[in-house]
Chain A
Amino acid sequence: MNWQIELRRISKVFDERVVLRDISATVTAPGAWTILGPNGSGKSTLLRIIAGLLTPTEGEVLYLYNGERLTAHQRRQSVGMVAPDIALYRPLTALENLRFFARARGLPVRDSDLLRWLERVQLRSRAHDPVASFSTGMVQRLKLLTALVHRPSVLLLDEPGSNLDEAGMEFIRETVREQAQHGIVIIATNDTRELGYGEPLVRLGA
């Protein structure tokens, strides 16, 4: 397996404000990388561009598998992402959220499998509760599961440790370690606890 992501001269301008200027980098699986920088430096914007949620003003992001460029559909099937501004369906339960994202990605899921997944993040006992009743830390753990349910080759994490207790942080560390053994992890952070998760990929200024 040979996964590669190439960022080619990425720039992003919102109205007249330049957020990213001429960013180029390449990551090859397996491994974990970090995007570093203070608040407002464009880390989340760059991660959203890598995920395909934003179009760069200039430049492009290439997803390659064994040298072949992936289609938009293949990229969607290969990427999982967790970010503070990406929400779950609050009126639905944890199990219903997980079931929806699995089915939407074409996975033939059984509830017994999903309940085992919820067990991994200590949410098995809250499987049938609406997400609206969850603490922010519990929501963050559930977001991680929905990003991992299709076993993505590329995992993008934007400040993954925010609102997590030590047990939650341990789950993140374990997930990053596992993912980095066979795929790609890119983490946008300025949290000192997360700096050691991977090699610095890009360091953005304010």
Chain B
Amino acid sequence: MIRLEKRTAPSQFWTYAAPLLAVMLTMACGGLLFAALGKDPFVTIRTIFWDPLFSEFAWYYRPQLLIKAAPLVLIAIGLSFGFRAGVWNIGAEGQYILGAICGAAVGLAFYPTESVFILPLMIMAGALGGWAWAMIPGVLRVKFGTNEILVSLMLVYVAQNLLASMALGVMRNPDAMGFPGSRNLARYPSATSWINESAGLHWGVVFAFIAVIFAYITLSRHIFGFQVRLSGQSPRAARFAGVNPGLLVLICMGISGALAGLAGLFEVAGPSGLISIDFNAGYGFTAIIVAFLGRLHPVGILLAAGLMALTYIGGEIAQSNLRLPAAAIQVLQGMLLFFLLAVDVLTHYRVRIGTRRIA
């Protein structure tokens, strides 16, 4: 009989080896899938995982990796605090939308004035919008004991409807002949979040790196990081250690909401450019997966977001060069996530084969 025995401390070896194992398992299973679809598995795998980084046109794809990964990193870093402390904000998608709406509203309100203060104001509005949206489940949990997983999820649907009404209503571009969607903020010099478009650099990328560093220091050096970790591992011990659980919930929700809002704002003011009905492309949900794949560790999140971005970009190349259906990429991503989540068991548990001994 196979059984699992909890390790007293996470295995150092498997912390690093497990993700590699998962990627290799995915390549093996993905290869079988591609072969079944009549594609050369080796070429396909190389196209997805290798070409974006090292092919002839890698000079173009590498910056694109930054663009794709930045919102994921930003959101996932915010979420990781809460997830460590047992605060389950799964409504980052909604906070991302609200950040974009609030930030864009500020930008659009100033159009076409030019001033250096517009972008900073938008950034504040974006963070505030995401923060406020996250405060709803936060406050409801603290005051009424409602489940924040569910409330934050419900608020995603509310946010999506709000987005549609904004794109079709008050934010509609008056010069667009009745088509939905706002003005393009990326074309509005004072509002754009682009720093250097061909280098893939916008303020969201900068903030993502700052967030990683900030999170790393907070979690490893600061008392707040200690409280977060303690609350997640043992809520009772945390209370004895003087942690105010309600406040901790609010802070964790606030950080994740504000960062998700920032991600939305940077996206709408740069890469995406405008508020449209389908503005949100699922970053908020993907970031949840990224946070777990990165084992809730800032550096891990950075790597996980990079890996996800790689499969998106490589997947597109495989679609156009090898005629792989988009669905096959989705299945591959699904498998990659499954394997990454599954192998984590090796880090925290020892696999024992044999009959159960009575201790």
Instruction: Answer whether A and B are interacting partners.
Output: no
- Give the B-binding residues of A (Cβ under 8 A): none
